[in-house]
Amino acid sequence: MSIEEKLKILADSAKYDASCSSSGSKRKAKDGLGIPSFSGICHSFSSDGRCISLLKILMTNCCIFDCKYCINRRSNEVKRAIFTPEEICEITINFYKRNYIEGLFLSSGIIKNPDYTMNKLIETISLLRNKYHFNGYIHVKAIPGASNYLLKKLGSLVDRISANIELPTHNGLKLLAPDKSQDKVTTIMQTIKENQNKNFVNAGQSTQMIIGATKESDLDIMKMSSFLYQNYKLKRVFYSAYIAVNKDNLLPALKMPPLKREHRLYQADWLIKYYNFKVTDLLDKNNPNFNILLDPKSNWALRNLHLFPCEINKASYNDLLKIPGIGPKSAQKIISNRRYYTLEYNDLKKLGVVLKRAKYFILCNGHYFMNKTYFSPNFIETNLLLEDQSIKIQSKEQLSLFNE
């Protein structure tokens, strides 16, 4: 089999992993090729609009597991291939020198047993680091069920390790991935958290959940991810809209992946990580799912309208963050500028603050953007929906999602 054919098979099987970030590593580069970049660099964007930063491949797509949702499951009849360590190194180095990529994201199906697979991964990475003197970013997917000492060995070689939790509840995992268990995944996370330092998984760990393959609500998903953030200090939880690659009675038959739902989950994830929101602020038992039509923050603000309108020139940093349409960057700009002068609507525009949503929730120097008698939940909700409506009309594919 030619290298090109192998690459085709093994990149194709790896593409469903959402993670492609190359950021967050402060590892000091030794003599050799490349440096990790703290902010991360996108090298290209594929036609699905996703960033290509790393050479995302599997070492092999042969697998002894039979997870229902996975394209590489044992019972699927697909072409199988294996890369040798040297082949992976050669491609990585040559791509890196031509500035195609920022590093390697290596994952693998499980051959023989977890320890054997893990050993193969370690062999590849140490060859890349020690023989080819590669200092770029390396992200490796840990193999659940492999021995702890192997995980520690791997961790000392790479910038990021991830282990996918796949589904938010035990039952879901038992149903769709009988060979995996949450305990095995959280054991990996625990080990990495305990050992993390500047030479061990410097860029932290991440995980991924599949959205829409089982019946869990958004509340279940958000509870799981905030549990993971708190207990294992994860850098990222990725959400991956379920794409039907296999046919199985246990799986839903979706025509289109639930992209909008995935988007809402990312928005909420951000709110919890960077905006000091709690899961219970956004969702509760009566509303276990996000409003598909309105983003989580606007939704929250509409339910807590007694906190608004908020005076831009006086509000604290935390209060500014709670205004829909205003993020950490805008909030910081507002604070650093209002020390010198009183901010009006025009000044906000000059600062680059997006007023599309924010204008309904703020006062500038005592003024509402129109007659203040309009400040009411109905008026604001209608207008926010109209703003979104114009976007929906522009992309018809998204619209078909709602009709289903």
Partner 1 sequence: MNDFNIYLYDGSFYNLLNTIEILIKEKIKPNNIINEKYYINDLLSNVYKKTLKTDTLFAQKLKSISLRFYQIIYDVYLSNDQNKELIIYYFILNGLKYGAKIVYLRKLKCVNKALNISHYVHNEVHKLKGFVRFQKLETNFYLAYINPTNNVLEYLAKYFKKRLATESWMIYDIKRNLLSIYTNNKYIIIEVADLEKNKFKFSDDEKIFANLWQTFYKTIAIKQRTNKRCQMNFMPKKYWSYMIEMSDKIAKDNF
**Does residue 91 interact with partner 1 by CB under 8 A?**
yes
132 Cβ neighbours under 8 A, 6+ residues apart: 33, 89, 92, 93
**Does residue 305 interact with partner 1 by CB under 8 A?**
no
**Does residue 355 interact with partner 1 by CB under 8 A?**
no
**Does residue 259 interact with partner 1 by CB under 8 A?**
yes
* Cβ–Cβ under 8 Å, residues 219 and 288: yes
Query: Within 13 Å and on the Cβ side, how many CA atoms surround 323?
Result: 30
CB of 178 to partner 1, least distance (A): 26
17 Cβ neighbours under 8 A, 6+ residues apart: 56, 105, 107, 141, 164, 208, 238, 240
CB of 321 to partner 1, least distance (A): 20
Burial class (CB in 10 A: 0-12, 13-18, 19+), 59: buried
**Does residue 97 interact with partner 1 by CB under 8 A?**
yes
Beta-carbon neighbour count of residue 15 at 10 Å?
Answer: 16
CB of 365 to partner 1, least distance (A): 13
**Does residue 257 interact with partner 1 by CB under 8 A?**
yes
Give dist(CA 71, CA 148) in Å, integer. 28
* Cβ–Cβ under 8 Å, residues 228 and 237: yes
**Does residue 44 interact with partner 1 by CB under 8 A?**
yes
**Which among 22, 41, 36 has a CA at the least distance from the CA of 199?**
36
CB of 150 to partner 1, least distance (A): 28
Stretch that binds partner 1, among 59-67, 225-233, 348-356, 366-374 (CB under 8 A): 348-356
In order of 60, 140, 163, 244, 321, the CA distances from 13 in angstroms are 9, 15, 17, 14, 40
Q: Which is nearer to partner 1, 133 or 367 (CB)?
A: 133
Stretch that binds partner 1, among 52-60, 61-69, 185-193, 214-222 (CB under 8 A): 52-60
CB of 305 to partner 1, least distance (A): 30
- Write the binding mask 130 to 169 for partner 1: x where contact by CB under 8 A, - elsewhere: ---x------------------------------------
* Cβ–Cβ under 8 Å, residues 168 and 216: yes
Q: Which is nearer to partner 1, 166 or 262 (CB)?
A: 262
Rounded to 10 degrees, the C-alpha dihedral 370/373/375/376 comes to -150
CB of 336 to partner 1, least distance (A): 5
- Chain residues that interact with partner 1, rule: CB under 8 A: 3-4, 7-8, 11-12, 14-16, 29, 31-35, 37, 39, 41-53, 55-56, 91, 94-95, 97-100, 102, 133, 241, 243, 256-257, 259, 336-337, 339-341, 347, 350-352, 395
